[in-house]
Amino acid sequence: MLRPLCISLKGIGGCFCHPRYITANTDTEEQNFPVAKAFNTHIEELKLDVLLQKVDHLRINESSKLETFELLCDHKEKFSEEIEFLWRLVRAYGDMYDLSTNTQEKKHYANIGKTLGERAVMRAPMNGHCHLWYAVLCGYVSEFEGLQNKINCGHLFKEHLDIAIQLLPEEPFLYYLKGRYCYTVSKLSWIEKKMAATLFGEIPSSTVHEALHNFLKTEELKPGYSMSNYMYVAKCYIDLDESQDAWKFCNLALLLPIITKEDRDAHKEVKRIICSLKR
């Protein structure tokens, strides 16, 4: 967990020499960060509506997220002023953060994505997807910050997450993120809360009950949303001394397939929870 005030969001075409280093050539790139070159310089240009449909379809498959990123980068010069393109590009930088295993690469993708996300919310303040993915990238950037900047990123995360929920009230991912935030804040120490209050004039507060409410809202909107959501529901019930409900959601979690790294991590945690419940 990120401490304090922000959550850990670990695990939200064309042939390249080294796919980890593909970038969109934004102004925020570090000068010494290598940029991959495509072997095939011919790029099929798509109309915006066709491109967006293709990107959204590809991204359904976890293994196609890199291809989605490449496709968006190929069309950046043409569509960078289109807001529906821009928030998807921010999302794709978040995907590259998830896919990367190298710390410097993760930092690189997170910083560029956050900068693009800030641009997106300034240009389209009523677009919920812009606020959602800006919040996510703020969370990713906070992984590499000191205490004060972590708190600042956490403040931005909460602010834009709340706006996104107002604009996209039926999006389950938002309630999952809100649950993660509430759960983290409920575990903050007094000194961490005091530090946040010094910077922002108020002490952050939340409870395990609030976290549970958001995780259950996620389940209500999309039953079987994720193994991680079930895992957090179980953790909340354990904190509330409701072991039978914890058992129930652990068992539901084990029924879901393991597809992503986040699934694998959640599966391990669910197994650990089950062992603790057996004692």
Range in 103-107, 148-152, 258-262 with the lowest mean pLDDT: 148-152
Domain map of the chain by residue range?
Answer: 1-168, 172-279
What percent of the chain stands above pLDDT 70?
A: 84
Residue 177 token pair? 């993120």
The model's pTM:
0.83
Q: Is there a common fold for 1-168 and 172-279?
A: yes
Q: Averaged over 125-151, what is the pLDDT?
A: 92
**CATH code for the structural domain at 172-279:** 1.25.40
Q: Averaged over 119-146, what is the pLDDT?
A: 95
Pairwise pLDDT comparison (73 vs 279), residue with the higher score: 73
Q: Averaged over 38-66, what is the pLDDT?
A: 82
**Could you say which architecture CATH assigns to the domain 1-168?**
Alpha Horseshoe (1.25)
Write out pLDDT tens, residues 146-180: 877 888 888 899 999 999 999 999 999 999 999 99
- Residues 76, 112, 26, CA angle at the centre, nearest 5°? 45
Write out pLDDT tens, residues 18-38: 233 333 334 444 434 434 434
Q: How confident is the model at residue 67 (pLDDT cuts 50, 70, 90)?
A: very high
pLDDT for res 16:
25
pLDDT for res 8:
57
